[in-house]
Chain A
């Protein structure tokens, strides 16, 4: 079997990338495959007009000439027939059979798969039992028996190969159809009164088609091998017709004495299948949405650093535990560069909680993940700036140093505790592992410590919970476990990336309270990333508001809440529902944040800002410090008293 494609098709999205064929050609291996296959196919097609010897003309007196004899570049076989000529004519036959068998198998297999995946459970299970039977039957024997029943000949071998390969398509397509049939757009079609066959054809088939094509492209080589295999066993082409498998089979008898007779067709099968597989891989890379989006690129252990300029050497603020200077983090996807973080400065004092606030896409998470090098590379890289931990530039630190700090002095709490905890390890495993990575102690001691941590985060029955798997816990409990993990090794900084977003409101409050208590107990600083000013007010000492990769306003929490200076901050605050004020309309911010590869000149918020004027759309706007440790990036900051006028 060649491959198991489980691509989940997503409805097509726009792509600004070059066309499929250009991509295929750009892929060097696939292009090589295309070239080889092209030459082979053209040669095979041109067989009738090429100056070849008659492939079937026997000349027993001229038998078994070695390659490179005059008139016979590849020698002759045991009946004195020209091997080159038979090879080219045989390739023609093998290609035709392989392709036809693939088409037949793909058609019937996909049909069964579509029907099974989209029909009632009973039809599905009957069809799948049938498929199971065929799969449990050793495939060559099945093909052999089918040929034995139908009689020999290429066409019958073709049917046999097709039948044997139907299950492969059927299973693949069924799985995908099953997934699709539960999707919303299918439900919608169903509600709109379309008949089932109609839905199958108009809604599901178009989405399954790319998978069928991928599966075919990865199967066709295999089918050529299998057809050759049947011919090899003597069940394919009838004499005198040549096909690659029967040539190999005939040559096998004299393998030891005249290997060229079997090597030549064998190498041809290989070249044919290899080139098809190379193209198949290329086709898959193009059609598979995951591969196309680059989503299957694997992130390396630490974000790459490509600081073009010398790092900022401005004097550091005294006594900070963390000081980020002019951090710039970019994503390189193809030729586009997304400047996710465009020069961020922030600092954190020991024991302080700083809220980093912004909409999704504002760059707040990327900023936070840059600190410990957790932005995935590819495509992310730190393009400039410095990150100082107690005066030590982390951007320049060695991998080993970063590993000591990760989970030690600097720990993380992420957004969705279900996906951030490893589903296959128990809570105990994951906690103990964290402890042992940083503290030399025995496993028993580590386990006691883990138990202690669970108690600290107020988990009931900690003994039992230790042996639980993440999926066995509630969302709040899971996040408590994550917090416990963050506290495992005398942490100084907790980077909390939207830790409460995935939780429901009552649990949110509990978790916030817990974090607030613990940071005071342990004197740990928190960098708290959120989009929610309600959460900010509950825990943060200071706030930094981010927009389009830059800080637009910063200051003490109560100052900002009471009198936001930047119109964007104002809007964010207005998004928070206030208890007891049901009439207060939740105002969503109109428009979308700008794409970071195409920032407008001047203020990035200007297009959405009700106060923007022409000045706002000129050159760079600086972050201007005002009184009381506040700073704002706005040339028309809001007055202290504008609150009532805006809310309406």
Chain B
């Protein structure tokens, strides 16, 4: 297992490396430069040239990239031009906020998706199945940014049950309850689509598994239907659902960009949007690298869980 994880991590290195190259050149292709972003109205060519020189942006592109790469290999992510602080500090702070949001959403969508999928499969063609299938479809069909606005409108503005934005109360908050209170709306919004995807997949996998010979065997052994469904069928269905949860992790991380914008969650998604608009190359690099690495790790975890579930994959 350790060797397998090591090999997978090794295989991720070229992907991450390639990603930094892509990010670097995309950022260079975008018109405008960090100096203009810093100077705003006062971006005279003279000022721009001065700032660019101070930031080391007047060097040839390739050289800039090599310098950055060298620094990264020494664990130095550089300093953000726009935030005037070390990239790593900002990225880690923001990423932990995203992790709380995306992690909660992921747990939420996994649990709900699995439950809905199972109920739907067990009650195939019954009213529960039809209703759930329809609800799941509604979830998949609602743009998350629109859903976020709706939730804010009804739960934050009209009824004031939940705060409209932020991670902690503006003054005095800070406890875990305060966090959960702020987390509720964005996490639900973020989880909805993924819940639908997981529910649909779980339903299909369960249906497929339920007609396998070993399920007949389980029934022939006189096991209760609960055991047949929850133990024998569910475990087998989970094997094909788990990697998809891993992929959903990627979409949840991506979707967090909208949600963080709508709910003012101080996460890495909204940071990256700002960083792109201020042409803060180092910040974008650091952020994308962390997000991509976490995507790789999420998938690795999913695959590891899959391997744990299915002994046939252990080779």
Contact = CB atoms under 8 A, between A and B. Distances in A.
Do A and B interact directly, with beta carbons closer than 8 Å? yes
Interface string B179-220: 000000000000001000100110010111011111111111
Contacts of B224: 403, 437
Interface stretch (B56-64, B73-81, B85-93, B150-158): B150-158
Contacts of B215: 299
Nearest to A434: B221
A148 interface: yes
A407 B220 contact: yes
Interface stretch (A274-282, A530-538, A582-590): A274-282
A52 interface: no
Given A140-B254, A406-B220, A422-B218, A133 B18 contact: yes
Given A138-B272, A229-B258, A4 B244 contact: yes
A475 interface: no
A135 B204 CA distance: 24
B149 A255 contact: yes
B146 A269 contact: yes
Contact of B16 (A136, A221, A274, A482): A136
B269 interface: yes
B311 A469 contact: yes
Nearest to B28: A149
Contact of A141 (B140, B276, B309): B276
Query: By CB atoms of chain B within 10 A, which of A262, A270, A438 has the most?
Result: A270
B222 A404 contact: yes
A68 interface: no
What is the predominant secondary structure among interface residues of chain B facing chain A? helix
Nearest to B217: A420
Interface string B245-259: 001101101111110
Contact of A135 (B22, B236, B250, B272): B250
Interface stretch (B33-41, B42-50, B166-174, B288-296): B288-296
B302 interface: no
Nearest to A224: B143
B1 interface: no
A302 B250 CA distance: 41
Interface in B119-153: 121-122, 124-125, 134, 137-138, 140-143, 145-146, 149-150, 152-153
B182 to A, nearest CB: 19
A506 interface: no
Contacts of B210: 298-299
A266 B262 CA distance: 15
Given A424-B235, A424-B309, A437-B223, A136 B296 contact: yes
A421 interface: yes
A148 B250 CA distance: 22
Contacts of B140: 2, 221-222, 273, 277
Contacts of B309: 424
A414 B236 contact: no
A301 interface: yes
A140 B134 contact: no
A138 B253 contact: yes
B27 interface: yes
B143 A433 contact: no
B225 interface: yes
A248 B145 contact: yes
Query: By CB atoms of chain B within 10 A, which of A222, A225, A374 has the most?
Result: A225
Given A140-B257, A433-B221, A274 B141 contact: yes
Given A298-B121, A301-B225, A423-B312, A232 B273 contact: no
B250 A136 contact: yes
Interface size class of A (residues with CB under 8 A): 35 or more
A376 interface: yes
B310 A424 contact: yes
Interface string A250-282: 001001100100110010011001101110010
Nearest to A252: B149
Nearest to B152: A255
A471 interface: yes
A283 interface: no
Query: By CB atoms of chain A within 10 A, which of B211, B212, B214 has the most?
Result: B214
A443 to B, nearest CB: 15
Contacts of A298: 121-122, 124, 206-207, 210-211
B82 interface: no
Nearest to B293: A136
A403 B124 CA distance: 22
B29 interface: yes
B239 A411 contact: no
A129 B220 contact: no
Interface residues of B, number: 84
A262 B148 CA distance: 12
B96 to A, nearest CB: 17
B211 A295 contact: yes
A488 to B, nearest CB: 8
A132 B215 CA distance: 36
A469 B276 contact: no
B228 interface: yes
Contacts of B150: 263, 266
Contacts of B19: 133, 136-137
B222 A29 contact: no
A433 B222 CA distance: 10
A424 B201 contact: no
B149 A266 contact: yes
A567 to B, nearest CB: 34
Contact of A421 (B18, B122, B200, B214): B214
Contacts of B239: 424
B221 A485 contact: yes
Contacts of B236: 422-424
Interface string B3-33: 0000000000011101100110011011000
A129 B18 contact: yes
B213 A228 contact: no
A306 to B, nearest CB: 17
Query: By CB atoms of chain A within 10 A, which of B216, B276, B292 has the most?
Result: B216
A428 to B, nearest CB: 13
A429 B200 CA distance: 30
Contacts of B122: 298
Contact of A270 (B143, B244, B258, B295): B143
B217 A469 contact: no
Contact of B221 (A130, A278, A437): A437
Contacts of B250: 135-136, 138
B257 A141 contact: yes
Query: By CB atoms of chain A within 10 A, which of B197, B222, B228, B292 has the most?
Result: B222
A416 interface: yes
A145 interface: yes
A404 B140 CA distance: 43
Contacts of A59: none
Contact of B213 (A252, A266, A274, A414): A414
Contact of B228 (A135, A140, A301, A404): A301
B295 to A, nearest CB: 5
A145 B26 contact: yes
Nearest to B216: A374
Nearest to A302: B219
A266 B214 contact: no
A90 interface: no
A233 interface: yes
A129 B14 contact: yes
Contacts of A99: none
Nearest to A472: B311
Given A1-B251, A298-B206, A412-B220, A141 B272 contact: yes
A138 B26 contact: no
Nearest to A276: B141
Q: Which 3 A-B pairs have the closest CB atoms?
A: A407-B222, A136-B292, A406-B222
15 contacts: A2-B197, A129-B14, A138-B291, A144-B257, A144-B276, A149-B30, A248-B143, A262-B149, A301-B219, A403-B222, A404-B222, A411-B220, A422-B214, A422-B232, A433-B227
Given A133-B19, A232-B145, A411-B220, 4 more contacts: A138-B256, A141-B269, A403-B222, A433-B221
